[in-house]
Amino acid sequence: MSQEQGLTPRAKDFSAWYNEAVMRAELADYSAVRGCMVIRPNGYAIWELMQGALDRMFKETGHRNAYFPLFIPQSFLEKEAEHVEGFAPEVAVVTRAGGKELEEPLVVRPTSETIIYASFAKWIQSYRDLPLLINQWANIVRWEMRTRLFLRTTEFLWQEGHTAHADEAGAEREARQMLRIYRRFAEEWAAMPVITGAKTDGEKFAGALRTYALEALMQDNRALQAGTSHHLGQNFARAFGVQYQTADGGLDYVWNTSWGMTTRMIGALVMTHGDDVGIVCPPKLAPVQVVIVPIYKSDAERAAVGEVADRAARELKAAGVRVELDAREEMKPGAKYYEWEGRGVPLRLEVGPKDVAKGQVFAARRTGGKAPIPLAALAAGVARALEEIQAALYTAALERREANSRRDVTKDELIAMMAGPGGFAYGGFCGAEACEEAISEATKATVRVLPDEEFRSPTAPARCVWCGKPSVTEAVWAKAY
Amino acid sequence: MSQEQGLTPRAKDFSAWYNEAVMRAELADYSAVRGCMVIRPNGYAIWELMQGALDRMFKETGHRNAYFPLFIPQSFLEKEAEHVEGFAPEVAVVTRAGGKELEEPLVVRPTSETIIYASFAKWIQSYRDLPLLINQWANIVRWEMRTRLFLRTTEFLWQEGHTAHADEAGAEREARQMLRIYRRFAEEWAAMPVITGAKTDGEKFAGALRTYALEALMQDNRALQAGTSHHLGQNFARAFGVQYQTADGGLDYVWNTSWGMTTRMIGALVMTHGDDVGIVCPPKLAPVQVVIVPIYKSDAERAAVGEVADRAARELKAAGVRVELDAREEMKPGAKYYEWEGRGVPLRLEVGPKDVAKGQVFAARRTGGKAPIPLAALAAGVARALEEIQAALYTAALERREANSRRDVTKDELIAMMAGPGGFAYGGFCGAEACEEAISEATKATVRVLPDEEFRSPTAPARCVWCGKPSVTEAVWAKAY
């Protein structure tokens, strides 16, 4: 891709734009293995920042990291009936190892409930061992037919939390707590507004009692599930015999939760904030937050400008800013701008001879707008600019989402919306599986969530969008990734 | 395991002691999958500290993290002849996925040279793209017949660095630099003395030009390979067509290096520093560096002691110390001591009524020795104690290694040493494969390294230990893990 070519505009072909934006930013690449991608350094650096933010919040809430085997005996998967039904069609299976056929095939983990709860059964004896709060950072394999970089790949990276509690209320509190943590991460780090709520029975995790999810609206008005938190009830505890001695000497099964967020969030970040030039990183998740580009013609100018640029880079680094000084000599400033814009760097500082004379740098925001920052207050000025960019990205995404959401839709409106512009459609729902399926068939839209209270419409819809019977819950429909 | 039972003494059965020490510290557990282990939170926390230290050094030297597919097409492995010969017998193979037989089986990565250099071939065009310095944190699968927790497991975690350079000298510098970084990590973080040097042709990595390694001596006088750094020459570049345009317009193959360190280092840490009570963590790799245990009888004492213990914990945390306050009420101090000793916590601070009266805490070192630290200088006193423990562990391990090393051994001495106490045997080597094999057969000892200059004996041995012909290089033999 050369500077002249540019990206396919989003309005013309969002899907083509997405792939080009990911490739231009060098976030990822295709591999020789069907459906598997390579996460390139620029993409992996975003993942490391995501991991750091999530891991800190997990640890602050008492979770500890561990690591469980990649391979799961096929028989384990079969112990929970719904679970195997959900995952069996998409697993990769090791049948040969060390030069021999295996007696029992090993499944490459599509999720780790079964192998982890087998360990929990050994570790948990008494109520004193509860709650047990574990998280794992790992790779996961699900054999997907249609794959997209980051959004849907055969192998992906994620974290999966797995916890055990003495009672239902404890597990419920945990599942809701982790949903809140994910929401906080989405909003505060990824600048990505989300709706939280419960999934319908038809959309919940295979083996769960209840699934909570957070849903974001991409720029093409399709929904993306950004994370899930499952209350698993005692289903897996019964399947794996995870019992504990209660405080009064009885014996009971534990209550489990599991919750996960994946490298898919990198794709969500691209599709939430990107523009026709390329990706835009929210400052908190930007591997490079600030790039400094010196501008000069003569050698004398280069020396003067270079000294100021150097000093600015050192000062910002000392202030904890992730800064790069782009001093490449064989490259013109315009080409550098283009490259860093494509990589989504939120703030560019240009330092030319006039700026040096005025004791300032010129700050260009990736989101638009240029203004000088005095060298005398550089760190503070940059910090403020980054905060403003972070906030502006969130606000713009929220406004876009609200502009593309409709409340209390009728059947005709729902059909027209999903045939046309897409977006989030809020409406009444009778709760019947038949209606859910009919809507999905007619519109290709699914119930994304039964929204939590803070996202519900001020007046609860009276009737089901589809059948007209009394609504038992509000629902949010959208076509989804 | 109860307090009364204790561990099998090292002198009685080192192997039994090792397993018990790992289990008592809850570092790892066996899993239902043959040869695969579970890394429990206490063990994973050590790994996270190891990762942090290594990752910082990798990044400081210009390396960037990325992630490549878990699966490798069987045909890729076959492109480099020595490589496939080395790894084919121990791979796990996915033959079925998504409910279908695969046309081409996929190997679960036993190492990633092949899949990574296929990407390098796409990314590298010109000398301007070099050097390319990549690292990956990943899980690895090698089908092992005899497994031991951490030391040899079917699946393990590691980092693998992969770099490409314009010329042989660049690759050689890189391979040596990474060996130095590993040595620094082993010595400064793990308090583990190592010998560095080159492997013989018989012991080098399958596909490498040269392999460098670091070797440590465990308490049972067996050697453990703690890390390797390979100069791969142009072998993989030729196999995968990794070519670049040179500065003068020609076309050449790149020179590659790869280097790795694994979760095996956790086992090495246990076997280097552990005693008959359990593991001992060097402070820099201790997830809990300091545990505070309040000691009291009456409620009034509990209140007074608790306040001081609380304040001490807060003060140490603020000073960046990884500290735990063990305020469990149902447990006696002695039982707490025993538990934290088994987990290898380097420093225990006891706070009793007399200590409160004297304005001090009582500091017991895991390595032996007790002394008060005045509360007025708590953070400084603790920091000094931790530094001293770190240094003492290294010194003790170095003295033990030197006491179990013999220089310029004769054939008879080598045989007697390997039949008896074990240890590092330095001697002359003619370089012939026949001698290497004969020694290995007769003594079960292998050449661990041809030592780097700083580890060689002051006077070079004149004759080969085995055949008596002139020595071409000094070698270090040992029985190894």
Each residue of A50-90: pLDDT tens digit? 999 999 999 999 999 999 999 999 999 999 888 888 898 99
Radius of gyration of chain A from its Cα atoms, rounded to whole angstroms: 25
* Chain centroid offset of residue A349 CA: 29
DSSP B250: -
- A184-203 pLDDT, tens digit per residue, is 999 999 999 999 999 999 99
A325-331 LR contacts (CB < 8 Å, sep 24+): A325/A291, A325/A292, A325/A294, A326/A291, A326/A292, A326/A293, A326/A294, A327/A294
**Buried b / exposed e across A459-477, counting CB within 10 Å, b at 16+?**
eebebbbbbeeebebbbbb
**Could you tell me the domains of chain A?**
14-273 (3.30.930.10), 283-389 (3.40.50.800), 405-478 (3.30.110.30)
| pLDDT digits 0-9 by tens, B140-155 | 999 988 899 999 999 9
Largest CA distance in chain B: 84
Q: How confident is the model at residue B84 (pLDDT cuts 50, 70, 90)?
A: confident
A145 vs B: CB within 8 A: yes
Which among B39, B44, B119 has the least Cβ separation from residue A29?
B119
B-chain residues near A97 (CB < 8 A): 91-93, 143
* Cα radius of gyration (chain B): 25
| Chain B residue at shortest CA distance from A71 | B33
Q: Are strands B100-108 and B92-97 parallel, antiparallel or unpaired?
A: antiparallel
Tokens of A80: 């929970």
- pLDDT category at A1 given cuts 50, 70, 90 is very low
Residue B16 has pLDDT above 60, yes or no: yes
Q: Report whether pLDDT(B283) > 50.
A: yes
Listed residue (B2, B1, B4, B20) closest to B276, CA to CA: B20
Report the amino acid identity of residue A434: A
pLDDT band at B5 (very low <50, low <70, confident <90, very high): low
Evaluate whether B316 touches B323 at the Cβ level (below 8 Å): yes
Taking residues B80-89, what's their average pLDDT? 87
User: Torsions phi, psi of A82, nearest 5?
Assistant: -65, -35
Q: Calculate the CA B135 to chain-centre distance.
A: 17
Please say whether the beta carbons of B7 and B24 come within 8 A: yes
| pLDDT interval class at A165 (50, 70, 90) | very high
Q: What is the pLDDT of residue B2?
A: 45
Predicted confidence (pLDDT) per residue in B187-230, tens digit: 999 999 999 999 999 999 989 999 999 999 999 999 999 999 99
Instruction: Give the C-alpha separation, B46 to B27, whole Å.
Output: 9
pTM above the 0.90 mark? yes
Question: Hey, CA dihedral for B164, B169, B172, B173, is it positive or negative?
Answer: negative
What pLDDT is stored for residue A478 in this prediction?
98
The long-range contacts involving B34-38, CB below 8 angstroms and separated by at least 24 positions, are B34/B154, B35/B143, B35/B144, B35/B147, B35/B153, B35/B154, B35/B155, B36/A69, B36/A70, B36/A71, B36/B153, B36/B154, B36/B155, B37/A69, B37/B147, B37/B149, B37/B150, B37/B153, B37/B155, B38/A66, B38/A67, B38/A68, B38/A69, B38/A119
**Is residue B43 pLDDT above 60, yes or no?**
yes
Per residue in B284-298, pLDDT tens? 999 999 999 999 999
Contact of B338 with chain A, judged by CB distance below 8 Å, is answered with no
Question: Least CA distance to B36: which residue of chain A?
Answer: A69
Q: Is A15 on the interface with B (CB under 8 A)?
A: no
How confident is the model over A373-386, as a mean pLDDT? 98
> Which of B26, B38, B107 best tests the A interface by mutation, with the highest count of A CBs <10 A?
B38
Average pLDDT over residues A96-125: 96
Task: Please say if the pLDDT value at position B3 is more than 60.
Answer: no
Give the mean pLDDT of A271-293: 98
Set of chain A residues whose Cβ sits within 8 Å of the Cβ of B41: 64-66, 134
E strands, A200-341, are 210-217, 223-233, 243-245, 251-253, 255-262, 290-294, 323-325
Name the residue among B38, B70, B94 with its Cβ closest to that of A93.
B94
pLDDT band at B330 (very low <50, low <70, confident <90, very high): confident
Sheet holding A347-351, edge to edge: A323-325, A290-294, A347-351, A360-365, A370-374
Element (H, E) at B176: helix B168-184
Q: Tens of pLDDT along A16-60?
A: 999 999 999 999 999 999 899 999 999 999 999 999 999 999 999
Task: Give kind and range of the element (H or E) at residue B225.
Answer: strand B223-233
Q: Which of A119, A40, A120, A115 is nearest to A74 (CA)?
A: A115
pLDDT in tens, A308-355: 999 999 999 999 999 999 999 989 999 999 999 999 999 999 999 999
* Residue whose C-alpha is closest to residue B481's, from B247, B264, B165: B264
Closest alpha carbon within chain B to A153: B69
On whether the CB atoms of residues A121 and A79 are closer than 8 A, the answer is no
Backbone CA torsion sign across A14, A26, B157, A136 = negative
Taking contacts as CB-CB distances below 8 angstroms, the residues of chain B near A47 are 67
Q: Does B37 touch chain A (CB under 8 A)?
A: yes
Give the pLDDT confidence score for residue A80 in this predicted structure.
Answer: 85
pLDDT score of B81: 84
Adjacency order of strands within the sheet including A100-108: A71-73, A100-108, A92-97, B92-97, B100-108, B71-73
Q: What is the mean pLDDT of residues B419-437?
A: 97
β-sheet bridge partners, residue B371: B363
Find where tokens 């500091």 sit. Answer: B363
- Which of A373, A351, A218, A222 shows the shortest CA–CA distance to A296? A351
pLDDT for A5: 66
Distance CA B8, CA A412 (A): 76
Residue with tokens 């196999």: B239
Three-state DSSP string of A115-177: HHHHHHHHHCCEHHHCCEEEEEEEEEECCCCCCECCCECCEEEEEEEEEEECCHHHHHHHHHH
Give the number of C-alpha atoms closer than 13 A to the C-alpha of residue B14, restricted to the C-beta side: 14
Round to whole Å and give the CA distance between A466 and A412.
Answer: 9
Mean pLDDT for A419-426 is 98
> Which backbone phi and psi does B109 adopt, to 5 degrees?
-50, 125
CA pair distance B432, B429, nearest whole angstrom: 8
Quick check: A32 contacting B, CB < 8 Å? yes
Pairing of strands A132-141, A64-65: parallel
Mean pLDDT of chain B: 96
Strand partners, B139: B157
Is the minimum CB–CB distance between B372 and chain A shorter than 8 Å?
no
pLDDT digits (tens, 9 = 90+) for B129-138: 999 999 999 9
pLDDT band at A6 (very low <50, low <70, confident <90, very high): confident
- Which of chain B's residues have a Cβ under 8 Å away from the Cβ of A143? 97-99
Strands (DSSP E) found in A298-432: 323-325, 347-351, 360-365, 370-374, 405-406, 424-429
The single residue listed with the structure tokens 């068939």 is: A441
**For range A363-387, the mean pLDDT:** 97
Question: Omega of the bond prior to A131 within 30 degrees of 0, cis?
Answer: yes
Residue A247 CB coordination number (10 Å) = 10
> Is the pLDDT score of A381 beyond 80?
yes
Express as a percent the part of chain A with pLDDT over 90: 94
Q: Do B119 and A67 touch (CB under 8 A)?
A: no
A89: chain B residues, CB-CB within 8 Å: 98-99
Q: What distance in Å separates the CA atoms of residue B456 and residue A320, rounded to the nearest whole number?
A: 44
Candidate from B40, B70, B96 with C-beta closest to A139 = B70
User: B80: pLDDT confidence band, cut at 50, 70 and 90?
Assistant: confident
* B329 pLDDT more than 60: yes
Give the type of residue at A177: Q
Chain B residues close to A134, C-beta within 8 Å: 41
Tell me the pLDDT band of A2, cut-offs 50, 70 and 90: very low
**Are the CB atoms for B256 and B232 separated by under 8 Å?**
yes
